[in-house]
């Protein structure tokens, strides 16, 4: 089946530093990738949608200058949390849309735990 | 605003029983309704999905029932097993929004031995 790889799975960074999370679609071309944030025992909240080669579309309330998203190729999207603070600690999950067939199947990565100390 | 409402929040079912999770939506533009299973600390995994032109879809022990007029859909897990214990999310998406998923709040399922 389709696989979406996310790296790193866990990262600890100091407050004020930046951290980058990568999301790769391993066996399909992902024209669209999505980034979610999930707090413990809560649902996934969409942060932004990125299309290959264009700027990401951010959901209301998500700071685009803080959460930098780059979708440079059909298989790679990155999320950079800039000037991270403890309140940014969360589970970040990417997903990728398989553009083949009906084009609406979305696969998720394994998620990245970010802890800001 | 929660575009997809999911219930119950938690569910306990005995092994071999049927687990039923319900979802409702308002936006008739939604045209794709997947269910995801998530284990603690892992990303969601696609279980089964349905389009609004179909009233039921079955894959193994998992069945989606879809009622377009009522704008409701449900997941039935037959012969529930302890390994099914996880959080289940229903979702809805539409082509005009690039198929971005709108998730329900999730149902924590516990299947007891």
The verdict on B109 touching A (C-beta cutoff 8 Å) is no
- Mean pLDDT value across residues B92-106: 90
- Per-residue confidence band for B1, with pLDDT thresholds at 50, 70 and 90: low
pLDDT at B12 over 80: yes
Flag if B49 and A105 touch (Cβ within 8 Å): yes
pLDDT at B92: 95
Report chain A residues whose CB lies below 8 A from the CB of B103: 43-44
**pLDDT tens digits, one per residue of B53-74:** 999 999 999 999 999 999 999 9
- Mean pLDDT value across residues A78-95: 96
Q: Give DSSP secondary structure letters for chain A.
A: ---EEEE-SEEEE-TT--EEEEEEESSS-EEEEEEEEE-TTS-EEEEEEEETTSPPEEPTT--TTTEEEEEEETTEEEEEE-S--GGG-EEEEEEEEE-STTS-EEEE---EEEEE-
Flag if B42 and A110 touch (Cβ within 8 Å): yes
**Smallest CA–CA distance from A106 into chain B, residue:** B46
- Mean pLDDT value across residues B32-61: 94
Which of B30, B37, B44 best probes binding to A when mutated, by most A CB atoms within 10 angstroms?
A: B44
pLDDT at A115: 97
- Nearest-CA distance from A4 to chain B in Å? 10
């Amino acid at each position: 089946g389709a696989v979406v790889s996310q790296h790193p799975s866990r990262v600890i960074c100091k407050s004020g530093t930046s951290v980058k999370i990568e999301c790769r679609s391993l066996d399909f071309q992902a024209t669209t990738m999505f980034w979610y944030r999930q707090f413990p025992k809560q649902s996934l909240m969409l942060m932004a949608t990125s299309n290959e080669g264009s700027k990401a579309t951010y959901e209301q309330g998500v700071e685009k200058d803080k959460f930098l998203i780059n979708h440079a190729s059909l298989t790679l999207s990155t999320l950079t949390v800039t000037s991270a603070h403890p309140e940014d600690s969360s589970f970040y999950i990417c997903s990728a849309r398989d553009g083949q067939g009906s084009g609406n199947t979305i696969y998720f990565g394994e998620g990245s735990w970010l802890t800001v100390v | 605003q929660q575009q997809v409402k999911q219930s119950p929040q938690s569910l306990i079912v005995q092994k071999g029983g049927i687990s039923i999770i319900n979802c409702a939506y308002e936006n008739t533009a939604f045209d794709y309704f997947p269910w995801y299973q998530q284990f603690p600390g892992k990303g969601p995994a696609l279980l089964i999905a349905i389009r609004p032109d179909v009233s039921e879809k079955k894959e193994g022990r998992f069945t989606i029932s879809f009622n377009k007029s009522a704008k409701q859909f449900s997941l039935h897990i037959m012969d529930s097993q302890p390994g099914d214990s996880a959080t289940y999310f229903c979702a809805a998406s539409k082509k005009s929004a690039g198929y971005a998923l709108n998730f329900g709040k999730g149902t924590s399922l516990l299947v007891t031995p």
